[in-house]
Amino acid sequence: MSAAYDTYDYPAYWIGREYEHFAEIIAIKAFLEKIPKIRSILEIGAGYGRLTPSYAYRAKRIILTDPSKNLLDIAKKSLPKRKIKFLKAKVEDLPEKIPPHSIDLIILVRVLHHIEDIEKMFSVIKKISKRNGYFILEFANKRHLKATIEEFIHGNFTFLLDIFTKDISTSLKKDSLPFNNYHPDRISYLLKKYGFKIVDMRSVSNVRSPFLKRLLPTELLLAIERNLQRPLAKIFFGPSVFILAKNTN
């Protein structure tokens, strides 16, 4: 059975998005520095392995999963097969394919917004994560600055308190998959519910702007980004939020 991204040229999507790509790597590498020892890493929704080189050096055992065979085939061509296992699977199928409590670090980036049942997803993460294992989670931030300003302009002054998920798939014309933006409080609640403690948080793609990308070199944008990620996480400024969490029970 084909997956939604089998018919979508995802590598082409990232052409011209070097700033966004490296902004995410800045966050991931900062989180890796806080994890003392990693034997195994599982990336869920790894696609064509875009982020894999940023963390592959930290573990001897790496598993990349994705529902798209086409994207995994692309990853196989560019990544070392001797070190990496490629697994075609949806999130809900992982407990059948990966032993319980066996993974030191689970990475889930640019995936949560496509998942319809996120409670199920959190239960899967809990089942396969080691006790004291780590979880790097990214989610599309419902209350980022631009969205907040737009809501205030339209008179919605309680927007920041509205924790309900916002599905923007219709506006993006992505009919085959949901595209959900989440309130940070809901994500924090679910992490706590499933036994994860937040260790660090980053606001990512804080200066994402077509105007700034034309005006300033990518290196300068990334230098600015590097210094803004931690302080702006306190106000959930950016469109993407990265969380490092630890499995505590």
For the segment 185-244, what is each residue's pLDDT rounded down to a tens digit?
A: 999 999 999 999 999 999 999 999 999 999 999 999 999 999 999 999 999 999 999 999
pLDDT in tens, 54-112: 999 999 999 999 999 999 999 999 998 888 999 999 999 999 999 999 999 999 999 99
Return the closest-CA partner of residue 191 out of 240, 129, 239.
129
Q: Which domain holds residue 136?
A: 4-247
Q: CATH number, domain at 8? A: 3.40.50.150
Query: Predicted confidence band at 171 (pLDDT cuts at 50, 70, 90)?
Result: low
Mean pLDDT of 147-154: 87
Structurally, the chain folds into a number of domains equal to: 1
116-108-223 Cα angle (round to 5): 125
Q: Residue 164's Cα: distance from chain center in Å?
A: 20
Mean pLDDT of 37-65: 97
Name, in order, each residue with C-beta under 8 angstroms of 129's C-beta and a sequence gap of 6 or more. Answer: 101, 103, 106, 135, 247
| Distance, CA of 177 to CA of 6 (rounded, Å) | 13
What local confidence, expressed as pLDDT, does residue 44 receive?
98
Strands (E), the chain: 40-44, 61-66, 84-88, 103-108, 129-140, 166-167, 180-181, 196-204, 240-247
